[in-house]
Amino acid sequence: IKSGRESMFKFFYKSIDENPYQDLEVAHIDEKDKRRHFLLRLAYRGSDFCGWQTQPNNHELPSVQKTLEDWLGVIEKDKVNIRVCGRTDAGVHAIRQVARYRSRNAEMTSTQVMDHLSKIPSAGVRCSEVLPISRSFHPTFTAESRAYVYMIDADCIDNPEAFTCTLNNELLGLQGKELDYVALSYGK
């Protein structure tokens, strides 16, 4: 990241020592079903994928979800299901995306998961952190915040100043309005 942009992206690059989920780390082995639960912190280049969610009839690009589930399935020797805090569309990049992975292997450690994910063949997705978490953690409903950054390449716009002014005027109508977060959570 070039100088001047660090503060803009500071939220995304917090130290991994700062764990907002530390209270959820206790009892990361589920005594009922003997599974281990892990938080995965992911980043991916959206142009390499058809979006987050697995799409069975898409043969052009893989989904991030399928790529990760297939790769984790190798270490599990079984089918894997991953939950994520929010799905992305095709072409949308993600930084510090949070997902949950439940391992059926009661001996699995976060180090083993991280080591395995560091060898994923897809160059477009990386895991920067694996944390043990409790069974109660759900990436969508436990999340305390989300941030979205929209970048527009001003070099492709004839008059960037006029474009910025027009965009700001359009967005004024949204200021102070509340969003229906329940509807957004369920895609309604």
Supply the DSSP string of 79-95, one letter for each residue: ---EEESS--BTT--EE
Please indicate whether residue 89 is annotated as part of the active site: yes
CA-based nearest residue to 39, from 117, 119, 145: 117
Catalytic residue among 70, 89, 153, 155: 89
Q: Identify the CA nearest to 148 among candidates 79, 72, 95, 105.
A: 95
Query: Which residues are bridge partners to 129 per DSSP?
Result: 41
Catalytic residues: 89
